Amino acid sequence: MKLLLEAAGVRVRYGHAEVLRGVSLEAGAGEVVGLVGPNGAGKSTLLRVVAGLQEATEGRVLLEGQELAGLARRERARVVGFVPQDTRIDFPLSVEQVVLLGRHAHGRRLSVDSARDFAAAESAMARVGILPYRDRRYSTLSGGERQLVMLARALAGEPRLLLLDEPVSALDLRHQLLALEVVREFVSSGGGCVVILHDLNLAARYCDRVLLLERGQVQASGRPPEVLRPAPLREAYRVAVAVRPDELLECPSVVAVAPREGGPAAISGSGPDLIAALAALFRRGCTHARVVVPARSPEAAAAEALGFETVDPGALVDRAGTAWAFGPPPPGLSRAFDVEQVELEAIDALFERLHGGCHEDGGSAANGRAGEASPALTSSISRHFGG
Amino acid sequence: MSASTSSTAAASRAEARAGALRLRFAVTLFVLAFLLGGAVIIATSLGPVQVAPLRVWGVVARELGLPVQLAVSERDEAVVMQLRLPRVLLAAVCGAGLGVAGAALQAVFRNPLAEPGVTGVSSGASLGAVAVLYWNLDAWHPLVLPLGAFAAAAVTVAAVYGIAAGTGRTSLATIVLVGLAVNAFLGGVVSAFVANARNESEIRSIIFWLQGGLEARTWEHVRLALGPVAVGVLGLAVLGRDLNLLLLGDDLAGAAGVAVRPVRWVVLGLAALATGAAVAVTGVISFVGLVIPHALRLVIGSDHRLLLPASALAGGAFLVVCDTVARMLFQPVTLQVGVVTSLVGGPLFLFLVLRSRKEFAL
């Protein structure tokens, strides 16, 4: 695979704020690389750096093996097609005129668009499906239509590397798929693409590799199933995340719920009841739970898909099928699910174990709180479970 | 087989579209050049002493050394060459400068309502001219007035751009806001000069200058304005492609290979040069730089490769017509050309805005 883009150790500093802290990114011919991560993680900045719009404070960027900084502007523009988030134009330009502007780097200063330019523009508009409104005014288009025009504009320049910043954020279901199919087509004919996506399910379906960025650093990278896992996603986005394999599409499917703060709670059960109880915990916004279930049991698989940690019962207590959830109080859970018994001693023992462990793995705020909250546990549990 | 047929069909379609574009550019520019030429000839023929348009053409052709044989009297030649042509050509030159500067600034500010005055050039020129008139410096030599105005305009623009660049923020809004502040300040200074004028005639000459006029302009004035305006018009016309991309925003333009900041400063500089030269010899003529590009955009679109030269030609023609109206319509009362551009430009602009709302539902 030919490497089109190699960025290594990219740092960007604005004054005191460091937006990118040593990020490396590669994109080869024939692959779509997805950039995902929460708002303000530095995704757009990284894209601007590799597009040559933003100078990196440190690090180097190679485009087809050549230093980006050493390339002439127009040379760079012939290699890279860039699509920023939303582009508004307050002047009466037709769709075709906008797409033709993608040919800028191919023309000379005083030249008028050639037949070659028109042919490239028409082919790009046809691929994206906007040929029917080539003569409409750009300013009268909807946000989604504008995104398609901008994608066509980038394609019209016949670049080898596409850099797309949320290209489908305003598109409807059909056009999201259509636009990403166009991108796949582009890479299958030898191009490369780096695309920022907020929809993790689209990233799972259309990207060959995914980089998860958080606070200017790469938290995880690799094939979608390697990156799109509950733990790193929960860390990055601070939400409760469930990831299940989607059999229809044969790729991971991500569901998130808003996290809720709350004291620890405990539930117990086994089999489908426990799985349903865990799902109920997740739906209520529980981000952290330790589930005591035998390894490789269906309950353990369900708990892991929800991003909950599993603990083998042999290590702790001899009762299988007991769940402790540290996070929000699950209101009404005791009524919804039959909670038989809560073993306070076992919970305390578990807390101690986890409290020690959470310093080792860097410990999230919720873990720390759960540990500190242990003296209050009894009352909390008795409130929720009437125990 | 069918693929190759469809690709040849696509190729010929592209060929046709490219050809149509070239034809549209050529026809538009030819029509506007013809209008400008016609306006110049007819404007020159009109006046208290009528000279038939054909005779005007004869005089011009002979001056240019063209092999055209037309009977031309000495009187015709004196009227055309001494009285009318300098004034008409000056109107054409200044209109061209204002038109092209307006079109370029609207693109660079990405705002169809920008006009050449935003850079402080007009208020700077006003202050220079008013100072010259107040202290009667033009009694020394008539060209002191335009040169003083031009110098003051240059200093003002340099100050506005310098302050804007010095803030470290390179946003266009900074330039607009600095320009606004400087315009307000200089407007106050000009008012102070007017309020303290020593006699009626001084006030009169100041007011006349502030309204913009082309009375008693000579070949000297044409020579003075022609160079800077020509540099501005040609320089900006060459940047049409870059301005098209700047409409899409700095990021897109930069990624497409435009040197965004250098191009922006060159455009701001050239626009100020053309405007400054025009305002220095005519006084403040409002609306040409705003209305002409706007009106043209509604008719020929926003492709600056065409819009910039077209704005120069149409701006020239518009100012020639307005000046002729100013001279002729209310004889013996003559109006200032700046007054006429406002009187004609205002309603024309309103008409275009209302019409465009109906058509495009903007």
Residues in B closer than 8 angstroms to A155, CB to CB, are: none
Higher pLDDT, A222 or B343: A222
SS3 A269: coil
Q: Predicted confidence band at A163 (pLDDT cuts at 50, 70, 90)?
A: very high
- Cβ <8 Å between B301 and A94: yes
- Residue B186: which of B170, B164, B210 has the closest Cα? B210
- How far separated are the first and last CA of chain A, in Å rounded? 62
Lowest-pLDDT range, A251-260, B38-47, B95-104, B145-154? A251-260
**Nearest CB to A119; choose among B11, B297, B361:** B11
Rounded mean pLDDT of chain B? Answer: 86
Structure confidence at residue A31 (pLDDT): 95
d(C-alpha B235, C-alpha B357), whole Å: 33
Lowest-pLDDT range, A32-36, B298-302, B352-356? B352-356
Residues in B closer than 8 angstroms to A106, CB to CB, are: none
Instruction: Determine how many CB atoms are found less than 10 A away from the CB of residue B6.
Output: 10
SS3 A379: helix
Structure confidence at residue A130 (pLDDT): 94
Structure confidence at residue A11 (pLDDT): 94
**Which residue in chain B has the smallest CA separation from A136?**
B360
Structure confidence at residue A211 (pLDDT): 96
Statement: residue B67 has pLDDT above 90 = no
Identify residue B30 by its one-letter amino acid code.
F
Structurally, chain B folds into a number of domains equal to 1
Residues in A closer than 8 angstroms to B305, CB to CB, are: 110, 112
Residues in A closer than 8 angstroms to B249, CB to CB, are: 84, 87
Structure confidence at residue B1 (pLDDT): 46
Q: Give the full edge-to-edge strand order of the sheet including A192-196.
A: A80-83, A161-165, A192-196, A32-36, A209-214, A217-222
Structure confidence at residue A192 (pLDDT): 95
Interface check B352 vs A, CB under 8 A: no
The alpha-carbon gap from B305 to the nearest alpha carbon of chain A, in Å, equals 8
Interface check A24 vs B, CB under 8 A: no
**Nearest CB to B248; choose among A101, A109, A110:** A101
Q: Domain limits of chain A?
A: 3-254, 264-385
- Cβ <8 Å between B247 and A93: yes
Statement: residue B43 has pLDDT above 90 = yes
Interface check B200 vs A, CB under 8 A: no
Statement: residue A386 has pLDDT above 60 = no
Q: Predicted confidence band at A184 (pLDDT cuts at 50, 70, 90)?
A: very high
Within a domain: B167: yes
Higher pLDDT, A328 or A180: A180
Supply the range of the domain harboring residue B155: 86-360
Lowest-pLDDT range, A30-34, A107-111, A125-129? A107-111
Token output for A376:
């209050």
d(C-alpha B342, C-alpha B213), whole Å: 13
Structure confidence at residue A219 (pLDDT): 93
Higher pLDDT, A325 or B28: B28
- Residue A161: which of A79, A83, A103, A104 has the closest Cα? A79
**Which residue in chain B has the smallest CA separation from A97?**
B303
Lowest-pLDDT range, A20-24, A375-379, B283-287? A375-379
Average pLDDT over every residue of A92-108: 91
Lowest-pLDDT range, A114-123, A286-295, A342-351, B221-230? A342-351
**Top-tier CATH class for A3-254:** alpha beta
Residue B342 belongs to domain with CATH number = 1.10.3470.10
Higher pLDDT, B335 or A69: A69
d(C-alpha B280, C-alpha B167), whole Å: 29
Structure confidence at residue A89 (pLDDT): 85
Structure confidence at residue B72 (pLDDT): 78
- Cβ <8 Å between A89 and B247: yes
Higher pLDDT, B254 or B138: B254
Structure confidence at residue A348 (pLDDT): 53
Interface check A116 vs B, CB under 8 A: yes
Q: Predicted confidence band at A325 (pLDDT cuts at 50, 70, 90)?
A: low
Q: Strands A217-222 and A209-214, how do they pair?
A: antiparallel
Statement: residue A271 has pLDDT above 80 = no
Residues in B closer than 8 angstroms to A94, CB to CB, are: 301
Interface check A315 vs B, CB under 8 A: no
- Cβ <8 Å between A101 and B245: yes
Structure confidence at residue A112 (pLDDT): 87
Lowest-pLDDT range, A319-333, B116-130, B295-309, B335-349? A319-333
**Nearest CB to A87; choose among B11, B111, B248:** B248
